[in-house]
Amino acid sequence: MNYGFVKTACATPTIKVADCSYNSEQIISQISFASQHGASLVVFPELCVTGYTCADMFLHKFLLEQAEKAVGQIMQRTSAMPIMSIVGVPVAVDDALYNCAAIIYKGELLGLVPKINLPNYNEYNELRYFTSGKGVKKKIIYAGQEVDIDADVVFSCNQLKDYKIGVEICEDLNAVCSPSQKLALQGKATVIANLAASNEYAGRSEFRRDLVRITSAKLCCAYMFASAGPGESTTDSVYSAHNIIAENGNILGESVKYSEGITYADIDVERLGSERRKNNNFTWVNESDINSVNFDVTLKQTKLNRKFRKHPFIPSEKAELIKRCEDILTMQAIGLSTRMLSASIKDLVVGISGGLDSTLALIVSVKALDILGLDRKNLHAISMPCFGTTKRTKTNAEKLSLAYGADFSVVDITKSVKQHFKDIGQDENKYDTTFENAQARQRTMVLMDVANKIGGLVVGTGDLSELALGWATYNGDHMSMYAVNASVPKTMVRHLVAYETLISSDEIAAIIKDILATPVSPELLPPTENGEISQITEDVVGPYELHDFFLYYFVRYGFSPEKIFYMAMRTFEGEYDRYTIKKWMQKFYIRFFTQQFKRSCMPDGPKVGSVSLSPRGDFRMPSDLQVRQWLERINEL
């Protein structure tokens, strides 16, 4: 449970209807098995102690007594197991019978939660037996213990503040105003357990899956749906043991239908808490009618089955990746074309280097002109070679620009930069920051002045990863009139450019493939004796796949350095050792904090993903924020 991860399970035992003794043995066995596999919470189906399909037998005192005895057995025999179990059982209170969830932990009955919405249509007739638990708040003696029966209750972990469990039962999920809404809003429940007996028919499983997934997204919670299996009577209905665990709109675990057993998933309650703190919808004030039952756990290192995406900005499925590329390129082009319309501009100016970022900016510019029905000659692609420019990149820049039908020109800035060095007394053989930045600023001046000359707009090429690291020359390539790549991470830039090869002519595709094979470099230092690129960006700032990983979980979820490091170690095992990950993580935090001043005055650009560093949109941070405490944490790792 360290770092907010909780291993959970939905279990469907093989039961015999109305045989409470047999059923309790199956439940105890699955609790034990789940506990041995590291689960801290296991949820069982609705009325699993008796079986959901007991019908009029629910009205027999003997069955209810056997069910209570079975719950006592479950409590006693799981008392030494560090796992919370939630099982379904009918409970008689005075003259009413309630369909309840019994919450059992370390030999204690923490609570009984009654079902509120009782279906009484089609094949369902629960009102024949049960009373709605709405508004019920009573203390009773059950299984030898005093306990509250209460639907408005959340079970809160003392050691893990974001771990709060709410319970609803089957039909409650389908209600217009489900109990889980109140539990999540007022009770702050981050985990909703649903004990269900959801029968099967054609198309039902797809609807059920979507309902669980969307509910978890709407409530920003983990939703655990445990359903009855084939062991139930099939007189008129079939039950498929369709168990689902979802977290904030994503399915983490799902059973194979008609297969009784246990489905596991590692949920991240810290991530859910972080998401909610960003969302004003969860700032509910009145919590007076939600009770809290607290419990203690011993925090332990959870052995995770959950995998973290190595490239969190990039969809894992090919079809989804292609669709994402289409969407992002469209958003970039729409944003740029709208800016052109609003400013009454018909010409675009792009500095084209033969690298990935400027290639993407060129592609987006072409699409924007096509949207507006303008001639591609209105795109002015300018190559500005200097000390570090190689033949390969210069050639690719020219070939690609001409292949797209753009107006291509070359402005060699070598002489002007050398003159500038003379003016300020800079030794041109001293390869320092001034040597590099003077070239970048000269290029920006050329682009801006050309744009002024023709009444055009300078399209920025810098990407999200470069902004995060401050890997841009202030008032040089850092500046433009519209930054189309500003929220596109470097790992995604490559895929967007590669996507263009799928929809372009053979000529364009061949050029782009060579660009994709070219090392990422600002080309500000002289080439090698063989004319090859000498300055490799990732040798200086570190691997972009690591930085994009750090960036996503730092900005998107606000995770601590320890948690991000833990996740990175698991994700990149066998690729980067501990020393390497720690080294580049330190570099990321130092650069991210110290380079905020560049982001504070970055140009406009379209947001295309869930992470943006625009000071006018998603991310605000003072330029003088201190990084010391974050680095201290990293040093302790």
Question: How far are the Cα atoms of 10, 43, 128, 167, 557 from residue 81, in angstroms, in the given order?
Answer: 17, 15, 37, 21, 32
Q: What is the reported pLDDT for 370?
A: 98
Domains of the chain with bracketed CATH: 2-295 (3.60.110.10), 318-635 (3.40.50.620)
**Residue written as tokens 């034990």?**
32
CB 228 within 8 A of CB 241: yes
> Which two structure tokens, joined as six digits, stand for 79?
């008392």
528 falls in which pLDDT band (50, 70, 90)? confident
Measure the CA–CA gap between 180 and 220, rounded to whole angstroms.
11
- Range scoring the smallest mean pLDDT among 9-13, 17-21, 295-299, 585-589: 295-299
* Average pLDDT over the chain, rounded to an integer: 95
Tell me: the pLDDT tens digits for 72-113? 999 999 999 999 999 999 999 999 999 999 999 999 999 999
Which tokens hold the place of 260?
């009784």
The answer to whether the beta carbons of residues 585 and 561 sit under 8 Å apart is yes
The per-residue pLDDT for range 54-76, each reduced to its tens digit, is 999 999 999 999 999 999 999 99
Best-predicted range by mean pLDDT (227-231, 234-238, 282-286, 335-339): 335-339
Give the integer Cα–Cα distance in Å for 1 and 162: 11
Q: Is the pLDDT of residue 503 over 60?
A: yes
Place of tokens 């959801």: 198
CB atoms within 10 A of CB 63: 18
82: nearest Cα among 102, 105, 50, 56: 105
**DSSP codes, 164-232:** EEEEEEGGGGGSTT-HHHHHHHTS--SEEEEEE--EE-TTHHHHHHHHHHHHHHHTTSEEEEEE--TTS
pLDDT for position 538: 87
What is the C-alpha separation between 600 and 613, in angstroms, rounded?
9
Measured at the CA of 546, the angle between CA 543 and CA 551, to 5 degrees, comes to 125
Q: Summarize pLDDT for 559-604 with one digit per residue, the tens.
A: 999 999 999 999 999 999 999 999 999 999 999 999 999 999 999 9
Whether 44 has a pLDDT exceeding 70, the answer reads yes
Is position 46 annotated as part of the catalytic site? yes
- The whole-number pLDDT of residue 365 equals 98
How much is the average pLDDT of 182-210? 93
| Mean pLDDT value of segment 439-450 | 97
Whether residue 542 has pLDDT greater than 90: yes
Q: Is 139 among the residues known to form the active site?
A: no
How confident is residue 543, by pLDDT bands cut at 50, 70 and 90? very high
Q: What is the pLDDT of residue 161?
A: 94
Query: What 3-state class would DSSP assign to 552?
Result: helix
pLDDT value at 285 more than 80: no
115 has catalytic annotation: yes
pLDDT of 8 over the 80 cut: yes
Answer yes or no: is pLDDT of 286 > 70: no
Task: Out of 170, 220, 221, 325, pick the active-site residue.
Answer: 170
Percent of the chain's residues with pLDDT above 70: 99
The predicted pLDDT at position 288 comes to 62
**Residue burial 508-544, b: 16+ Cβ < 10 Å; e: rest:** beebbeebeebbbbbbbbbbeeeeebbbebbeebbbb
Single-letter residue type at 309: R
Strand partners for 9: 42, 264
Q: How far apart are the first and last CA of the chain?
A: 18
Query: What is residue 617's predicted lDDT score, i.e. its pLDDT?
Result: 84
Decide if 8 contacts 42 (C-beta within 8 A). yes
User: What sign does the CA torsion over 12, 17, 20, 23 have?
Assistant: negative
Work out the average pLDDT over 618-633: 93
Please return the burial class of 91, using the count of CB atoms within 10 Å of its CB with bins 0-12, 13-18 and 19+. Answer: buried
Q: Pick from 483, 589, 499: which is nearest to 318 by CA?
A: 499
Going by their DSSP bridges, the two strands 291-295 and 137-142 should be labelled as unpaired
Q: How far is CA 506 from CA 376, 386, 513, in A?
A: 19, 30, 10
Structure confidence by residue, pLDDT tens digits, 108-145: 999 999 999 999 988 888 999 999 999 999 999 999 99
Q: Which of 20, 46, 100, 247 is catalytic?
A: 46
Nearest residue to 354 (alpha-carbon basis) of 208, 505, 519:
519
What is the pLDDT at residue 394?
95
Q: List CB contacts of 398: < 8 A, sequence separation 6 or more.
A: 383, 408, 410
The count of other CB atoms within 10 Å of the CB of residue 557 is 18
Burial 309-332 (b: 16+ CB within 10 A, else e): ebbbbbbeeeeebeebbeebbebb
User: Which pLDDT does position 121 carry in this prediction?
Assistant: 86
Query: Looking at the predicted structure, is the pLDDT value of residue 284 above 70?
Result: no
Q: Which of 342, 241, 246, 265 has the alpha carbon at shortest distance from 5?
A: 265
CA distances for 520 relative to 34, 541, 631, angstroms: 48, 11, 28
For residue 350, name the pLDDT band (cuts at 50, 70, 90): very high
Structural contact between residues 208 and 240, judged by C-beta atoms closer than 8 angstroms: no
pLDDT reported for residue 570: 95
- Which of these is catalytic: 115, 164, 394, 490? 115
Helix (H) or strand (E) segment spanning residue 87: strand 84-93
Mean pLDDT score, 466-472 = 96
pLDDT for the residue numbered 532: 84
Closest CA to 30 of 19, 43, 18: 43
- Provide the 10 A C-beta neighbour count for residue 51: 27
